[in-house]
Amino acid sequence: MNVLVINCSPVRNGATAEIVRIVSRQLSGKYVVEPVCIDDYDIHFCRGCRVCHTTAACVQHDGVDRLMERFEWADVIVSVAPSYWADIPGQFKVFIDRCTPWCNTHEPHAKLSGGKRGYAIALRTGPSMRECERIIESIRHFYGHLEIESCGSLGLCSIEYKEAVAPREREIIRFCDSI
Ligand SMILES: Cc1cc2nc3c(=O)[nH]c(=O)nc-3n(C[C@H](O)[C@H](O)[C@H](O)COP(=O)(O)O)c2cc1C
């Protein structure tokens, strides 16, 4: 089974990256795991042209093609997203917008292979779980339109820098055990 773990933050060595590292290490005991960072990919803004509504393909070709190849490869996708202004980081949102060719609300649309499972982990500095839930909901919404089954989520509050992740390692490992 192939697992794609996405750092949805542009920071390659921050708290999100640390969580991606723990998840990847845990899951590599039973699956083939590939960790990636959204910032590894050159992704341009959606232009809102809607050509994909009739062609099922984007007029632009960039890092989206490569990242979607990784989605196709994966049986399980784990998206790890920090809160940036109470929402997912802009880089991840731009990627989601560009996934409109795969969105099941229009025909024709591009399709990933069936049977994929998706998980979401949200983190933030503030103390309230509501903001994590909002981020998790954005990821679930995205998975839903790509027909990736949402199978679990984890919210982690009170995390600003990577040093705050170590005391939460057990929580993260317990979550990994459910994947
Ligand atoms: C631009 C920016 C906006 C942020 N906005 C919020 C916020 O609205 N609420 C919150 O709790 N934390 C917020 N944070 C804190 C991050 O969620 C937190 O530091 C997280 O651990 C960042 O992980 P990263 O360094 O891996 O990107 C923000 C951080 C940045 C850089």
- The whole domain housing 7 covers 2-177
Q: 17 alpha carbon to ligand 1 midpoint, in Å?
A: 13
Give 107-135 pLDDT, tens digit per residue.
Answer: 999 999 999 999 999 999 999 999 999 99
Q: Which atom of ligand 1 is nearest to the CA of 9?
A: 27
7 lines ligand 1 (CB under 6 A): no
Q: With pLDDT > 70 as the criterion, what percentage of the chain qualifies?
A: 100
Two structure tokens written together for 143: 């998975």
Give 42-97 pLDDT, tens digit per residue.
Answer: 999 999 999 999 999 999 999 999 999 999 999 999 999 999 999 999 999 999 99
Q: 14 alpha carbon to ligand 1 midpoint, in Å?
A: 10
Q: Give the CATH number, domain containing residue 91.
A: 3.40.50.360
- Please say whether the beta carbons of 155 and 122 come within 8 A: yes
Q: Is 166 helix (H, G, I), strand (E, B) or coil?
A: helix
Helices assigned H by DSSP within 10-128: 15-27, 52-55, 63-73, 90-98
pTM, whole model, 2 decimals?
0.98
Q: Is 50 helix (H, G, I), strand (E, B) or coil?
A: coil
Q: Is 20 helix (H, G, I), strand (E, B) or coil?
A: helix
Whole-number pLDDT of residue 135? 98
Domain count, the chain: 1
